[in-house]
Structure 1
């Protein structure tokens, strides 16, 4: 009998979030599931790790299922480090992160705890995929997303993902019959134009709320934003070698 793949599941919205519960449900159909996820929301944490405090990681039962679950006091990247280096007795065959409540397309991949968990898995030598649904509501409908997740995970396991690359998958908030397919894309060139809402507390101290507007500077039809705006699931291969290789030759011309 063929051994079922060992699948590590994590996220950044917290271990009780509906998105990760949907992801666990799908992964239970595919392999042996081990969950290590934050005990509270960690959205926007990027690739932060805990170096100035202790980490707590406790066995927990959130709902029925064959999965083994741990809640961790750390960041999404901490969760993956703990799972791979401390808790599991062998390296997972795959790490899946999500399903995130909200988009992680374009430059959002930099800030995303969901994708940082996937990237950390990749650094640890584990194939990884981050999944996001373009619906920020806590009780979002993950029905269509679950079918897409299963399709992509089965394909990733069958085709063996290349080393040093993880996948960033974003799913439009559409009914299943309106999703036009899956497009392999590049990351769109966009950024946030930040504003800070300055306020004064009842004690007379100034404080700020970060706000802003996303600006898409990319008109290409091969980007994740174009795909999502046109009813497709976007799938972007992400590398964590951040070297700007095209600059090396130019920098060597400097008089250093």
Structure 2
């Protein structure tokens, strides 16, 4: 009998989020699952790790699931670190993160706790995928995500991923019958145009709420934003090596050592 793969599941919306509960159900049809996820929402944490306070991990029992589950007081990246170093007795065959409530396409990947958890696994040499649904509602309907999450996961287990490559998968918030398929894409060039809503508390002290508008500056038809806007699931291969390799020679031509 073929041994079932060991799959580590995490997220950034918290261990109780409907998105991760959907992901757990899907992964239980594929392999043996261990869940290590934040005990509270950690959206927008990026690749933050806990250095100046204590971390707590508690085994929990949620629903009727039989797999081991642990809630962690730290960030998504903390969850992966603790899972690998303290909880699991061997390196997992795969790490999946999500299913995130909301988009992690384009520049959002930089801020995403979901993707940072997957990237942390990639740093450890573990094939990893971050999954997101373009619906920010807590009670979002994840039904349409299921066949695509399963298909992409099975393909990663079959083919593997190169060292340092992590898949960023985003799924449009449309009925499953309207999803046209899967497109492998590049990350669109986009950014947030941000403003701060300045207010005063009852004591007269200023405080701020961050607001913003997402602006897509990229009109290419090979981007994740184009795919999502046109009814496709987008798959972007990402990497944690931030070196601008094509600019190294240019810098070597500068007079840096004169």
* CA deviations over 1:29-73 (Å, ceiling 9, x no partner): 000000000000000000000000110001001111221100000
Q: Is the 8 Å Cα contact of residues 33 and 66 (structure 1) preserved in structure 2?
A: no
Cα-to-partner distance string for 1:136-179 (whole Å, 9 max, x where unaligned): 01001010101110111011101111111000000000111100
What is aligned with 1:54? 54
Give the Cα–Cα distance (whole angstroms) in 2 for the partners of residues 163 and 251 of structure 1: 27
- For the residues of structure 2 that align with 1:154 and 1:203, how far apart are their CA atoms? 56
Unaligned residue ranges in structure 1 (runs of 5+)? none
In structure 2, what is the Cα distance between the partners aligned to 1:66 and 1:147? 22
Partner of 1:41: 41
Please state if 1:198 is matched with 2:198. Answer: yes
Could you say which residue in structure 1 is the equivalent of 2:148?
148
Cα distance in 2 for residues equivalent to 1:137 and 1:213:
18
- Render the CA deviation track for 1:224-244: whole Å, top value 9, x for unaligned: 000000000000000110000
Partner residue of 2:82? 82
CA contact under 8 A between 1:38 and 1:76: conserved in structure 2? yes
| Residues 1:115 and 2:82 aligned together | no
Q: Secondary structure at the match of 1:98?
A: strand
Taking structure 2 as the reference length, the TM-score comes to 0.98
Partner residue, 2:182: 182
CA distance in 2, matches of 1:91, 1:246: 34
Indicate whether 1:31 and 2:35 are aligned.
no
For structure 2, the residue ranges without an aligned partner over 5 or more in a row are: none
Q: For 1:115, what is the secondary structure of its paired residue?
A: helix
Give the Cα separation in 2 of the matches to 1:63 and 1:83. 21
Question: Deviation of residue 247 (structure 1)?
Answer: 1.1
Once the two structures are superposed, the pairs formed by residues 81-100 of structure 1 within 5 Å of their partners are 81-100=81-100
Taking only aligned residues, the RMSD between alpha carbons, in angstroms, comes to: 0.5
* Residue matched to 2:249: 249
Q: Distance in 1 between matches of 2:34 and 2:115?
A: 18
Q: For residue 21 of structure 1, report the CA deviation from its aligned partner.
A: 0.2
Q: Aligned partners of 1:151, 1:143: CA distance in 2, in Å? A: 14
Between the aligned partners of 2:63 and 2:254, the Cα distance in structure 1 is: 60
The answer to whether the 8 A contact 1:28-1:66 is kept is no
TM-score (norm. length: structure 1): 0.99
User: C-alpha separation between the residues in 1 aligned to 2:45 and 2:51?
Assistant: 14
Which ranges of 4 or more aligned residues in structure 1 deviate by more than 3 Å? Answer: none
Structure 2 residue matching 1:7: 3-state secondary structure: strand
- Comparing 147-156 with 89-98, greater Cα deviation is found at 147-156
